[in-house]
Amino acid sequence: MEEKKTAKPSVKKNKHTDDLVDHYWGSINYVSGLIKASEIKAGLILSFYGILLNFSYSYLEMVLSEASNTPFLYVLLAIWFLCTATSIYFSVRCFMPRIEAKYEKNIFFFGDVISKFGTVKEFAKTFHKISSDEDQLFDQLGQQIFIISKIAAYKFSNVNKALRFLAIGLLLLLIIMGSYLAVSQ
């Protein structure tokens, strides 16, 4: 008698799984690049303020001596200072880590990796198990894309606010310099 061979049920693998994985990781890398870009922009804004404040400090005494005769210059200087301080505040906020803990644990989030998956061996097993299950893998990757996109949006919001206050401050600085030149002549 011939033995019937029982065939193992074939696991259907999505033909596009590799493309999907690349797509998800490409999205994660793209958003991570946006986070880096926002931090670079915030750093450039702060560097610009370092140069601007150094330059302004050297002329502050002259402007203040004229401002004693013109209270309008004091008002403009106060508004300029507030704009500058606000812009610097938003630039610094861009660098502050902002981690929300109200999401499900995720194998791709560094905080969860070390705190929510047990030992290194337990994490490795969980990572392999989730990586082997397409649905779980794409769910975890999708959640991570959402979370880092939220971080990128927050950082860019701060950079945009910093740039707006920088522009207002530069406009005020031009008005102050024009007023100073008009009064000093």
Per-residue pLDDT of the chain (185 residues; tens, 9 = 90+): 445 555 444 445 556 777 888 899 999 999 999 999 999 999 999 999 999 988 888 777 776 776 667 778 888 889 999 999 999 999 999 998 777 668 889 998 888 899 899 999 999 999 999 999 999 999 999 999 999 999 999 999 999 999 999 999 999 999 988 887 777 77
pLDDT confidence of residue 10:
44
Buried b (16+ CB within 10 A) or exposed e, 64-90: eeebeebeebeebbeebeebbebbbeb
Q: What is the signed CA dihedral for 40, 44, 47, 52, rounded to 10 degrees?
A: -160
What number of residues does the chain have?
A: 185
pLDDT confidence of residue 42:
96
Distance CA 37, CA 43 (A): 10
Q: Could you tell me the CA-to-CA distances from 27 to 65, 105, 133, 178 in Å, in that order?
A: 56, 20, 20, 48
Q: Could you tell me the CA-to-CA distances from 118 to 112, 121, 132, 137 in Å, in that order?
A: 10, 8, 19, 19
Show Cβ contacts of residue 116 under 8 Å, excluding neighbours closer than 6 positions.
Answer: 105
Q: Is 24 helix (H, G, I), strand (E, B) or coil?
A: helix
CB atoms within 10 A of CB 139: 14
Distance CA 56, CA 83 (A): 14
Q: What angle do CA 99, 104, 109 make, to 5 degrees?
A: 50
Secondary structure letter of residue 61 according to DSSP: H
Read off the tokens for 98. 């902002």
Distance CA 58, CA 77 (A): 15
